[in-house]
Amino acid sequence: MDGVSPECHRGAMTRIDADYLVVGAGAAGMAFTDALVDHSDARVVLVDRRSGPGGHWQEAYPFVRLHQSSAFYGVASTLLGGGRLQEHGPEAGLQERASQSEIVGYFDRVLARMLQTGRVDFHPNSEYDGDRTVVSRISGARFEVPASCRIVDARYLAPSIPAETPPPFDVGARASVLPVNDLPRLEEAPSQYVVVGSGKTATDACVWLLGRGVDPDAICWVRPRDPWMYNRALIQPDPAIFLGMAADLMQSAAGSASLEELFLRLEEQEIMLRIDRDVTPTMAKTPTLATWELEHLRTIEDVVRRGHLRSVERGRLTFADGSVEVADDAVVVHCAADGLKYPPLVPVWRPEAITVQPIRSGFPCFGAALTGYVEATRTDDDEKNRTCSPSPYGDSLAGWARMNVLGTRSSMAFSAEADIREWGNGVALNPVRVPDGYPASPVLDDARERLAAYTGPALERLAHLM
């Protein structure tokens, strides 16, 4: 918002004429708006209760990075990370992965570009109250949008993060429990760290502690579930690599008798990774992990698998079936927020709102950008819904299969539209694009042939197994 009009004081209600009110300036709202304004003359009001764009990244822990390539993240108009490869370190040769400050800076630049169009207004620190009304959390001023303005719900899948979610266990008065964000602020090393959580945040915390020289035996990892994770080396914006991985996945899915067997096959092919080969994972949110991280994680032997932690007292962790002793001065690191969300799938286009959700399996930024493009280029909501149906995030193995079945079917539907195919091939967020000028090769041909041959049978098999 540029400037404050005199009538915008507490309690006063103004009206803003806009075609769209986008609620949430996280990756979903930014990617939707960017594609919408690039392909139409729409006027957009973008609101967020936070003080700037970027969503949960504003409150992320300082050592977080994208788990996958920068090129797959952000908005369609502006490549994050410039397509650079990492030159040094254990991931040399892989695409770069942006840090928290890089992501937040990127979204600031993307917002500036949007504002320059003169068709986008941004209202930070502003809460959407429902009923087409927004209230400033700072001045109390309110505005409403007319009935003709479409509401875009770009917060439907906003993840919950430890910095903003209390620990899901009781904390005794003398226990030392901190959210992962506070880990780098410790002033004195404890004799033991207890990391609580099974997902990407917990793996990041463990890798960070080990990288700071903490003895693996000084880490106790409370891991209620064991996760399957994609091998980062294969989730790369390089068509031969990505499509080769997708072809292997479809071929394996077509020939597997159970989801457990499928994941083991994918592990043999080095597509999926698990931390402990003696434990069958039940969790499949499938972030990416690098093999150097895997090696680090495997050095932690004190893993507590007793379900969810109920409470923490000084020197003791309590579970449903009993207690585990830890050091008196142990620091318990809360990495146990839900992260990804699993609300019911709803049609993207409904009269009450456009609800931004992933369309192809995973890759939420691509889904949001595609939704913006389709909204800009089509008028009939039924047609838009037929073209782009939503796909959920994975959590369990069955959920992962559902994500792939729905996401792949949806990809087939939108790819049948020539203009979407052309648009998608120019957008780096799209993991299956083959950019103009990308060299032909037998590896790429083979991947395409196998995808053509196995996708149908794989979807049938996955639909049966899920």
Query: Among 64-72, 259-267, 378-386, 394-402, which window interacts with ligand FAD (CB under 6 A)?
Result: 64-72
Closest CB to ligand FAD among residues 56, 461: 56
C-beta of residue 192 within 8 angstroms of C-beta of residue 165: no
27 in contact with ligand FAD (CB under 6 A): yes
161 in contact with ligand FAD (CB under 6 A): yes
C-beta of residue 323 within 8 angstroms of C-beta of residue 304: no
Q: How far is the CB of 14 from ligand FAD (least distance, A)?
A: 17
CA pair distance 199, 229, nearest whole angstrom: 9
Query: Among 49-57, 210-218, 292-300, 418-426, which window interacts with ligand FAD (CB under 6 A)?
Result: 49-57
CA pair distance 52, 29, nearest whole angstrom: 12
Closest CB to ligand FAD among residues 56, 384: 56
48 in contact with ligand FAD (CB under 6 A): yes
Residues between 191 and 220 that touch ligand FAD (CB under 6 A):
200-201
> Which residue's entry shows tokens 């990495």?
335
What character string, x for contact with ligand FAD (CB under 6 A) and - otherwise, covers 67-106? xx----x---------------------------------
Q: How far is the CB of 277 from ligand FAD (least distance, A)?
A: 26
C-beta of residue 401 within 8 angstroms of C-beta of residue 462: yes
55 in contact with ligand FAD (CB under 6 A): yes
Closest CB to ligand FAD among residues 157, 209: 157
Q: How far is the CB of 181 from ligand FAD (least distance, A)?
A: 11
Q: Site for ligand FAD (CB under 6 A): how many residues? A: 33
Question: Can you spell out the DSSP letters for 243-307?
Answer: HHHHHHHHHHHHT-SSHHHHHHHHHHTTSEEES-TTS---B----EE-HHHHHHHTT--EEE-SS
Dihedral, 394, 400, 404, 406 alpha carbons, nearest 10? -60
Closest CB to ligand FAD among residues 126, 455: 126
CA proximity to 368, closest of 105, 48, 33: 33
- Strand 142-144 with 133-136, pairing: antiparallel
In the list 74, 239, 281, 339, the residue contacting ligand FAD (rule: CB under 6 A) is 339
- For residue 137, give both structure tokens: 């959390």
- Strand 44-47 with 120-123, pairing: parallel
CA proximity to 158, closest of 67, 49, 51, 78: 49
CA pair distance 39, 37, nearest whole angstrom: 5
154 in contact with ligand FAD (CB under 6 A): yes
The CA-to-CA distance between both ends of the chain, in Å, stands at: 47
Query: Among 150-158, 254-262, 311-319, 343-351, which window interacts with ligand FAD (CB under 6 A)?
Result: 150-158
CA 441 to chain centre: 32
Query: Among 20-28, 253-261, 269-277, 308-316, which window interacts with ligand FAD (CB under 6 A)?
Result: 20-28
In the list 21, 37, 42, 66, the residue contacting ligand FAD (rule: CB under 6 A) is 66
CA 359 to chain centre: 13
**H or E segment to which residue 32 belongs:** helix 27-38
56 in contact with ligand FAD (CB under 6 A): yes
Query: Among 21-29, 141-149, 167-175, 306-314, which window interacts with ligand FAD (CB under 6 A)?
Result: 21-29
Q: How far is the CB of 126 from ligand FAD (least distance, A)?
A: 6
> Which residue's entry shows tokens 């003398």?
174
In the list 18, 42, 47, 348, the residue contacting ligand FAD (rule: CB under 6 A) is 47
395 in contact with ligand FAD (CB under 6 A): no
28 in contact with ligand FAD (CB under 6 A): yes
153 in contact with ligand FAD (CB under 6 A): no
E strands along 102-208, which residues? 120-123, 126-130, 133-136, 142-144, 150-153, 170-171, 176-179, 193-196
Residue type, 359: I
Closest CB to ligand FAD among residues 244, 362: 362
In the list 32, 34, 42, 50, the residue contacting ligand FAD (rule: CB under 6 A) is 50
Binding site for ligand FAD (CB under 6 A): 23-29, 47-50, 55-56, 60, 64, 66-68, 73, 127-128, 154-155, 157-159, 161, 200-201, 339, 363-365
